[in-house]
Structure 1
């Protein structure tokens, strides 16, 4: 594997930061939080700290004793682990590939084996595939900002792509499966950031890899997820076609069939076919979801809130805001703070606007805007723009 032109400790700092999905500004804030009150008052501005982090990661200078201690506190590591750890090879391959270095997740042996496989794909085996599946699961959480998930998983896709081209046949199919799931998740994250073109391009990659793997359930899952990209594109026929193709695909497990029927209901709502919409929603509600037997080793996700969220969207499309409000308020009462919740809050504001409750709509919209900024929920912000011309007024009042 090629050498790097910066000190190992500098590459390690960058790898640990990126593995936590922190920007340089985030790390500067973490250093400030790690300082005691007296020291905090002596630290430079966040802008200056971000520049200092850039300089340290470039190896231009090593952090002094004060900042070394703050780094250790921020990363919850000791100085030997952070600045003079023995796993130089691990640091090297993470630095060169951009694949996140995840603290406390893998053994030194797993890191070394994966690094060797990156260097020589013929060494890739089941443990290599398991390594990347673990990474994918770790960065599939909805509490992570979509743009940062893209940055973390795009290098993973590139590495798997290189491995599967040159690996032995026994591991090839497993790598294709993981590649498809990785691409599908990146597609969804681009969708959440408002970039539909990139979302569709990554969806194409996911579908191609699923076909190449010969995994019919994964093909059906990817088709159903692609249908979800079409919910506001004004083409109900295309959405319905994708959803039907997913649920009629061979071997579709019951939870996946239910998800496909929900997306099909969306298409019927967009087309104004109220009876068909309700029929598909009823069918999806009757289908087994959580706990259904599914022995396919795929990172399928069937979140419990999905049925209600899509049902509420259908009701908004069909101009039944009161029913949508009832569903969304119930589900949002204990919802976590993430980009999905931000979008559902924006939909609730939409429903209140349709119900001519402008004051309630504005109040919910302010909360949705705040959470959208906090979580990077660009799609939620687009929903807010659809229903209110005075988003800039909320933004200005929120900032004060």
Structure 2
């Protein structure tokens, strides 16, 4: 059922869930938590509740009690407003998006009367060094290999913040470090295919960065969540988040931070098929990066350079089915890419394989895909696994080509 055919109440139920960045499984959990003991005993299994949610949001069935009541409790919206026929308000400003994100995250707070060790700037620097080591490890290892150590580090940083004593300045720096841990841990969880865990972690980091007053870090975290949602969720939610990330960075953020925010907005628009908006954002990213002049900036921006922007431009062209522009860009990047970064190399090869298939070059696409499959065989990354499926599907129409057929048969597709 198209959006304009869906009843207003169904659109509202879906929008209210998405505003909170909840999956339908999250929504089912929230409905269960909103039920008192008597109602909870009557609820079916989680899978059945999820099916009901799907039907409600499609507009095929309107909720009846107890679900009608539970929805009102969860969203804190009056029944007449939630289920009425009035117009649905979809437009949200970046401030609205950020407010929704922060509202759904329990703020970090130290334990009252804590008696932990006294921390100083040196302790914060040690933690910052550990988070940067984790980033460097992510350059050469995949999410499945790093997810456990990443979350041990994040949990340790949160525990230190909550149980130790420190000055206000040290506390603010600790919050920034927690936000940085949350960004890389969320990225690692996303790469491991743990998208709900990643989203929760990004929200924790956003809360920490916001409390620390670090707009640049807040932008990076919101942008990371935008990137994930653009890839595995609703692309229009991804655009809203990417705009919020750009707003959080602001005009005075470091050049590479602004370039990264524009880059993620470009990708969100490309995923939505909005070519002109994507190209405009890519141009803004290039302009922002051109203003970089060895300024003081956070360490996590070390990887944002002209090569990364070129990769994003090529990916956007591939997503928009413009292979004649994508192929030269990807070929140039891959000719000088660090081969120790196996996951990224495999991902970039996957985009090139798709672009070559779109350019009606199936033999070359098959050769590129074969290299991608070989590289990613032992990489514990959900992203590379998903890209394999995309590449195989794009090659399938060329199965009559011997090189393609041999590759597809060998890969069990």
Q: Does structure 1 conserve the Cα–Cα contact (< 8 Å) formed by 2:323 and 2:359?
A: yes
Structure 2-normalised TM-score?
Answer: 0.62
340, 360, 364: which one pairs with 1:360? 364
Matches within 5 A, 1:260-271: 260-271=261-272
User: What's the counterpart of residue 388 of structure 1?
Assistant: 392
- Over 3 Å counting, the alpha-carbon distance change for 1:151 and 1:359 in structure 2 is same
RMSD over aligned CA atoms reads 2.7
Q: Does structure 1 conserve the Cα–Cα contact (< 8 Å) formed by 2:392 and 2:408?
A: no
Are 1:132 and 2:136 an aligned pair?
no
How many residue pairs align between the two structures? 281
Q: What is the distance in 1 between the residues matched to 2:163 and 2:361?
A: 60
- Over 3 Å counting, the alpha-carbon distance change for 1:269 and 1:393 in structure 2 is same
CA shift for structure 1 position 382: 0.7
Q: Does structure 2 conserve the Cα–Cα contact (< 8 Å) formed by 1:210 and 1:216?
A: yes
User: What's the counterpart of residue 121 of structure 1?
Assistant: 116
- Deviation sequence 1:122-163 (CA, Å, 0-9, x none): 232211111111111112120123222222221111111111
User: What's the counterpart of residue 316 of structure 1?
Assistant: 318
**Structure 1 gap ranges (5+):** 1-118
- Over 3 Å counting, the alpha-carbon distance change for 1:345 and 1:317 in structure 2 is same
Q: What is the distance in 2 between the residues matched to 1:227 and 1:137?
A: 22
- Over 3 Å counting, the alpha-carbon distance change for 1:388 and 1:132 in structure 2 is same
**Structure 2 gap ranges (5+):** 1-113, 397-403
Q: What is the distance in 2 between the residues matched to 1:196 and 1:387?
A: 22
- Over 3 Å counting, the alpha-carbon distance change for 1:199 and 1:290 in structure 2 is farther
User: What's the counterpart of residue 309 of structure 2?
Assistant: 307
CA shift for structure 1 position 395: 8.4
User: What's the counterpart of residue 215 of structure 1?
Assistant: 214
- Over 3 Å counting, the alpha-carbon distance change for 1:297 and 1:242 in structure 2 is same
User: What's the counterpart of residue 246 of structure 2?
Assistant: 247
- Over 3 Å counting, the alpha-carbon distance change for 1:262 and 1:352 in structure 2 is same
Q: Does structure 1 conserve the Cα–Cα contact (< 8 Å) formed by 2:226 and 2:268?
A: no
CA shift for structure 1 position 294: 4.4
User: What's the counterpart of residue 281 of structure 2?
Assistant: 280
- Over 3 Å counting, the alpha-carbon distance change for 1:312 and 1:362 in structure 2 is same
- Over 3 Å counting, the alpha-carbon distance change for 1:120 and 1:154 in structure 2 is farther
Q: What is the distance in 2 between the residues matched to 1:393 and 1:372?
A: 18
Q: What is the distance in 2 between the residues matched to 1:288 and 1:133?
A: 25
